Amino acid sequence: MSKLNGKVAVVTGGSSGLGLAMATRFAEEGAFVYITGRRQSELDKAVALIGDNAVAVQGDVQRVEDLDHLFEKIRQEKGRIDVLVANSGMVAPQILDDATEENFDKTFGVNVRGVYFTIDRALPLLQHGSSVILVSSIAANKGVPGYGTYSASKAAVRSFSRTWTAELLDRGIRVNTLSPGPFDTPIMDGQADTPDGGDAVRAKWSAAVPMKRLGRSEELAAAALFLASDESSYIAGVDLIVDGGAAAV
């Protein structure tokens, strides 16, 4: 039997990269999946790839009104959420000497505010036995020049999972963190200084991983499936690191 048969899942930031991989795997395992993102064209492509068990809802996780629209649609159509992945995030490296308010506010707006209010607004729909997965990063536990704001925002996400585990267990809601290391996704290109610099960024991060390669999106999706399914029914509050050993070695 499929591991998420009949479940209703939500993946924010599900139109590309790791979010799309997770949404696709959930649908393959029998879930009906709602994905969100800011760009309608990318959402349309993602739904075409995932198939009939997916619906896209355009919105920005920084806007509470967009979140309310998403969850009201789910309430009317399905009435519940069994799996919620708060995946929307951004990274824009900037060293302290070059700090700007815009970079700080946008990073924390998406990575922290977005996660906080995604879970807050979803609470009325989360069922007893549901699984909430917060996507953090191994950067939360490392000091990498240029990634101070990003790392701090992801540390906040990890903190949320601890607090919400304590707050929501009486409702039968499990909250866990999924922390990827370097993965081969379009976000790598966004960290390059030039249009052709993506390969250099990928080579740099590959060298930093003990396995000497970047992660594949489907590898994170497999870990997310474990946390989403009943196979992890006795797991709450953990930080599942998927990074080829980068944080441990």
Catalytic residues: 150
Annotate 118-138 with DSSP letters as a single string. Answer: HHHHHGGGEEEEEEEEEE--G
- What is the DSSP-derived secondary structure letter of residue 51? -
d(CA 3, CA 233): 12
Cβ neighbours, 10 Å, residue 218: 12
Q: Six-digit token pair at 47?
A: 């739904």
Closest CA to 9 of 29, 222, 42: 29
Residue pointed to by tokens 């799309």: 20
**Token pair 């922290």 in the structure block, residue:** 112
